[in-house]
Amino acid sequence: LGTSSLKKVLVLVLVPVLAVALAGRSAPRAAYGQPNFIVILADDVGWGDLGANWAETKETPHLDELAAEGTRFVDFHSAASTCSPSRASLLTGRLGARNGVTHNFAVTSVGGLPLNETTLAEVLREAGYSTGAIGKWHLGHHGRHHPSFRGFDYYFGIPYSHDMGCTDTPGYNLPPCPPCPRHGADARVVRKDCYTEVALPLFENVTIIQQPVNLSSLAARYAEEATRFIRRASDSGRPFFLYLALAHMHVPLGVPPTAPTSGRGIYGAALSEMDTLVGRIKRVADSHGKGNTLLWFAGDNGPWAQKCELAGRLGPFVGSWQRQRGGSSAKQTTWEGGHRVPAVAYWPGHIPAKRTSHALLSTLDVFPTLVALAGAALPPNRRFDGLDVSPVLFGRSDVGHKVLLHPNSGAAGKDGGIETLRLAQYKAFYTTGGAMACDGSLGPAEHHQPPLIFNLDRDLQEQQPLDVASREYQAVLPAISRAYAQALEDVATDNVSVADYSKDPAATPCCDPRHVACRCQEPASPAAAHLHCGSNIKTCSIFHAVHTVRGHPTQTQIKTRGELWGQVVT
């Protein structure tokens, strides 16, 4: 360990390191007025899925253009390595250990993101913004957990992951899943890892407008609705916040309209479709006043390795130490491949073009940064894990977090527990293992005391932890131990929320329980499969109001899944 590195470690030991507890901090209202915000969140995308990050990737010319005209962040991380916790943290600026969302919500979940947690949309709407959410929600759909009650003026999308319901256009998944049943007998066929009983719903505000969703046209519909929202908001004269949570690159991947042209087959075609969608949104935003809108693209977590060729590229972040022992080092884990994600920010005239930032940043930072840029204040009486990183966005600084916490996200350890942390270039693991790889290996759950410590400056592959007896390990361990203790203490003394993870079949979004798989209309033929509510829209609204929005499970007669399907028309 060189003298300069030792000095860095000693400074870290002596200086408080935990970058939290930001309640009440906000930037003064900017001289340029309130900008528009578009946050695009890709699903299960790999760091190496961005061509600007990884030369082997050729399918992202629009994202690469976005990076060339803005700033690319190469040390940017999702707040968790799985869906619901990552999204909850982005919209609250708080880790799941604080906001209560520690694992994914189910189709039958009664709860969601705790109602005492304040979302970014709520803060911005109070500051005068038009707010819209398009795409995947996965933070609760029952009652007041629905996005229409969490600060969004407009919602269009799917209430959870799009593999959590059957469709008539099932696309590509591993294992492959069947289309929705058309008759009662078909509904009783069970497939491992597949949802076969309830069709995937598409919502506009609180109404189911299509069930099952046509996945083949979903990307186009998201682009259309996003375009419509931007135009309406721009015409109103109010600033807007659009949260666009894409289905890409989560499985099932859609059937491409033409044969894949890249060597990556179906995945490459889906990646190209996502890239085209992002390019369209950028053009629309520019057409409504170039320079007025901050567009921030990032991923919600890393690739889902057990999906094999349907999973994304990790780039150099392969987690070699774990791979040598079996199991995944991507989604659900706290290896770099699980949470280091592509990220680009674009705002002509404000964010420097052709810049690469090495600042340690997170999706946690989206909340406090946008609140500050809007001239609003953070909600009181709680602490935040995110930072206002506008100086980094504007190129005035390249310093982000000194400490970044990586919660357990479905692999080894208690969900939401903090057992991995980053301190400058060092990363410490107290727990490893527990996530499935493509080859079916799981990797043993292991607890490490003292922790495994990697120096990412020279070991991006996380291949060889520091020797416990080395000078470097002994020099950095006190700083890591202190940061870890401070983190746990800070969470323990905060106002912490608890999410309701109870389940009830009555919470299942269902357009019409009289029809098999909750279809909006009973399909008389395969041609009818793509019909959505249409003339039956009133029925969809009524059933949704009863089972999902106003009511609670105790207010309905539906107590079990069997009773729910007891009226199925065959």
**Residues recognised as catalytic:** 83, 138
Contact indicator for 83, 43 with CB cutoff of 8 Å = yes
Radius of gyration, alpha carbons of the chain: 23
Contact indicator for 424, 12 with CB cutoff of 8 Å = yes
Lookup: tokens for 158: 């799917």
Q: Which strands form 293-299's sheet, in the order they lie side by side?
A: 207-210, 202-204, 154-157, 130-135, 240-245, 36-42, 293-299, 343-346, 71-73, 355-357
Three-state DSSP state, 296? strand
Contact indicator for 423, 12 with CB cutoff of 8 Å = yes
Question: Which residues are CB-neighbours of 493 under 8 A, at least 6 positions away?
Answer: none
Contact indicator for 159, 479 with CB cutoff of 8 Å = no
Lookup: tokens for 35: 């900008």
Residue with tokens 């208690």: 414
Three-state DSSP state, 30? coil
Which amino acid, 364? L
Determine the Cα–Cα distance for residues 448 and 419; give it in Å rounded to an integer: 10
Q: Element (H or E) spanning 543, and its range?
A: helix 537-544
Contact indicator for 249, 42 with CB cutoff of 8 Å = yes
Determine the Cα–Cα distance for residues 366 and 263; give it in Å rounded to an integer: 35
Question: What is the end-to-end Cα distance of the chain in Å, rounded?
Answer: 72
Give 166's DSSP letter. B
Distance set, CA 428 to CA 9, 116, 481 (Å):
14, 32, 9
Determine the Cα–Cα distance for residues 63 and 504; give it in Å rounded to an integer: 41
Three-state DSSP state, 547? helix
Distance set, CA 146 to CA 396, 416, 512, 560 (Å):
39, 23, 19, 22
CA neighbours closer than 13 Å in the CB half-sphere of residue 563: 8
Residue with tokens 């890591």: 480
Contact indicator for 447, 458 with CB cutoff of 8 Å = no
Determine the Cα–Cα distance for residues 218 and 255; give it in Å rounded to an integer: 11
